[in-house]
Structure formats: structure tokens, C-alpha cells
Structure 1
Amino acid sequence: MTNFADKLIAVATLAAPHAAALEAACAEFDITAGRRAQMFLATCAHESGGFRYVRELWGPTDQQRKYEPPSKLAKGLGNTQIGDGRRFAGRGWIQVTGRDNVRRCSIALFGDDRLVQDPRWLETPEGAARSAGWFWSSNKLNALADAGDFIATQGVVNVGNKKATTTQIIGFPDRRRWFEKMVAAGL
């Protein structure tokens, strides 16, 4: 096991089977040690319930019902067909959600739209980690992490807005707790 894996597992034991894939994704997307890795891993930990879930829990809740067309949210996610809400529910450590986001992720990682045809790869250790790295990188979150702006990174992930306040960011205290753990572990 690597130093990275040992430290991550000490903070989040459920990450053990995924540590190698997370470490590879960090290298691939230049999410290097320090604030980048700490903020990225804290985000992954929060979004996945401590590395427990690689797929959004489906109720459907009132919010999840809005993933279905013809709602405004569905349109923004690119969900055009009945059933797209559930089919393109969040997957991966940072929960890639919606037909358009899955397509963008697929094109970035594979050069084609294979994940639109079958998004389940996003639930594999490699898929969960690489899609999270892709999301982090495509949203330029390394720059915010380098600036030490944890609130902005979480705003982009959770609200889609780097100017979001801690009260607008769902689960901010838990996100902060994970970040503090990653810092204490020396990741």
C-alpha cells in the first residue's frame, strides 16, 4: 500500500478498496498533495457518504422528480426522455448527474458517448474516481484549492456557483469535517 492509501484509509476506512483508483485519478488530473488533494478527497467523502455510495440513492424524492422532463432542472441536465432522471442519477464520487454531464464526462474520458449508452461504469472504482477527477478538473477546482478557498470549491460542486455561501451549500458542516480530517491526515 502507498503512503497516500494508508493516510486515506486511516481517515475513511470504506475507501480501502478504492484507494488505488483514487490515487491514480489524483495523478491523472493533477490533484496533487496539499490543498488540492485534501479538498478533492473531502468532497468525494462527503458526496459519497464516506465512500459508501457510488450512486445517488433514489426515492424518488421531490428533488429527484425534477430530474424528469419537462422540468426546468431536467432541461438544464439535458434529460430529454422520460426515465432520464433515474437513468442519469448521480454516479461516481462526485455524483455526475444528468444526460449532458454524463455525455461530457464520457467524451472527455473516452472520446465518445459510451457512458450515455451505459452509465454503470461510473459506479466502478476506476469510473467513480476518474469521473470525480474529470469533474474537479473541468470545473477548474485546482485553482480554487490552490487559493485555499474551500467554500468556493464546495459551492461549485453542490450549487454550481463558486460564490455560494455556507448556508446555501447542502451539508457544509460535514464537508468541513471531512476536509479537516484530510488535513490532519497529511494528505
Structure 2
Amino acid sequence: MTAEGTLISEEEFVAAVTSAGYPTPTTSQYQGMCAAAPAGDVSSRKDLAQFLAQILWESDGLRSKEEYLAANDPAAVATAYAGPDDNGKVFYGRGYIQLAWADNYRAASQDIFGDDRLYRTPEVVAEDEYTAWAVSFWYWRARVAIAAGYGEGFGFTTKAINGALECSGDSTKAERRYKTYTKVAAALGETPLGPEGCYS
């Protein structure tokens, strides 16, 4: 998916984001998405609708490339993500997918760039538009699209991303994710998958 041969035009991208109730995205966000898309192997509009819906939910409508808790309570975030392999850094949620944990930063960096730059300087994931999208596409390909049930129901993508918290007990967030997805799918002219895979 590139700006020249994209699965989605900028106008469709704007419609998908705003139909879900979020502010109008910028041209640089659209261009960053198109440039980074090869990291994700998203090859159909049906898959793109699922991806965009999850990205919108994770990033508060593309308004945050950094976990809000990091700004509101840095000490809590440092404790929550502390680990033996932290390289002196805190690997909290960054990028549009909210990539977290040192192992994910290292794996994404190696796969996208062929080195450990994101492990050494995780801040760039929140600072650079291309990188924020690239790690999101990478996570989708490496952790979501390979999950059991992928393509059978939208809930399987939620389960792969945040299933431990949203797919048992109170499913309010998972249900809201699904509503976001139905709006994005409609904006792209796609018939949405059912909610199966998480709370139903």
C-alpha cells in the first residue's frame, strides 16, 4: 500500500477516522500510514478496516502515539513495565498500536530496520510518524494476523491485542471496539465481520 497504489485514498482515510467519532487526521498521518504499510502485509480493504479500527481505538483516534499514563504518572508506568531486560529504558505503549515491552521493541526493530535502534531509543516510536505506523503494521502482521480465528470475526483481533483484559468478564471496551470497527468498515464500503472471537 503506497500513496500511488493504495488500498485507501486520503479522503476515505479521513472518512474512516471521522465516522468513528474522532477528529480529522492530518495528511502526514495518511502519508505515514501509506509509507509504513509494507511492514504489515495488509492486502485487502476488509483487513484494512479491522486494522484501522484497532489502531483508532489504541491511539485515541490517532491523537496519541504515547500511552497517556506515561505523561500522567511516569513512576507508575516505570513500575508497570519494569523488567530484567529494560536497557535503562521504559518500554511502555508507544506508536499507534501502543507497542509495549522490551521484547516487542527489539523484535519490531530487527524486522523493520535490521538492527536494534528501537530497543536502544524507544522514544522514536512516539516521535516519528513513519515509525509509529511501521511498528503498528509490524505488530499486526507478527502478532494479530497470525492469531487463531483471524478473519472469522473481529473479536479475534481484539483478543490478540488485549484479550486478557477485554475478552473475559466486563466486555464493555471490546464491544466499543467492535462498534468503532463497524463504522470504519462502513466508511470503506466493506461488510463488517461479526463480533465473534472475544466476548461473543
> Which TM-score band applies after superposition, normalised by the shorter structure?
0.7 to 0.9
SS at match of 2:13: helix
Asked if 2 retains the 8 angstrom alpha-carbon contact of 1:36 and 1:145, the reply is: no
In structure 2, stretches of 5+ residues that fail to align are: 18-23, 190-200
**Are 1:47 and 2:52 matched, yes or no?**
no
Map of 1:132 onto structure 2: 136
Tell me by how many angstroms 1:26 deviates.
3.1
Tell me by how many angstroms 1:114 deviates.
1.0
SS at match of 1:26: helix
- Could you give the per-residue CA deviations for residues 47-89 of structure 1, whole angstroms, max 9, x where no partner exists? 00001000111233897354244xxxx46xx4475xx4xx311
Corresponding residue to 1:108 among 94, 108, 111: 111
Map of 2:182 onto structure 1: 180
Matches within 5 A, 1:1-187: 3-12=8-17, 13-14=24-25, 16-57=27-68, 58=70, 59-60=72-73, 64=77, 66-69=79-82, 74=83, 78-79=85-86, 81=88, 84=89, 87-123=90-126, 124-141=128-145, 147-159=151-163, 165=167, 167=169, 171-186=173-188
Tell me by how many angstroms 1:175 deviates.
1.2
When the two structures are aligned, how many residues end up with a matched partner? 175
SS at match of 1:10: helix
Distance 1:79 1:49, change over 3 A: same
Distance 1:80 1:126, change over 3 A: closer
Asked if 2 retains the 8 angstrom alpha-carbon contact of 1:44 and 1:93, the reply is: yes
Tell me by how many angstroms 1:14 deviates.
2.5
Asked if 1 retains the 8 angstrom alpha-carbon contact of 2:39 and 2:138, the reply is: no
Asked if 2 retains the 8 angstrom alpha-carbon contact of 1:35 and 1:146, the reply is: no
Tell me by how many angstroms 1:140 deviates.
4.6
SS at match of 1:171: helix
Counterpart AA for 2:167: T
Would you tell me which structure has more helix in proportion to its own residues?
1
In structure 1, stretches of 5+ residues that fail to align are: none
Counterpart AA for 2:77: Q
* Structure 2 Cα separation of the partners of residues 128 and 169 of structure 1: 28
Tell me by how many angstroms 1:146 deviates.
5.8
Output the aligned Cα RMSD: 2.9
* Structure 1 Cα separation of the partners of residues 142 and 170 of structure 2: 22
SS at match of 2:123: helix
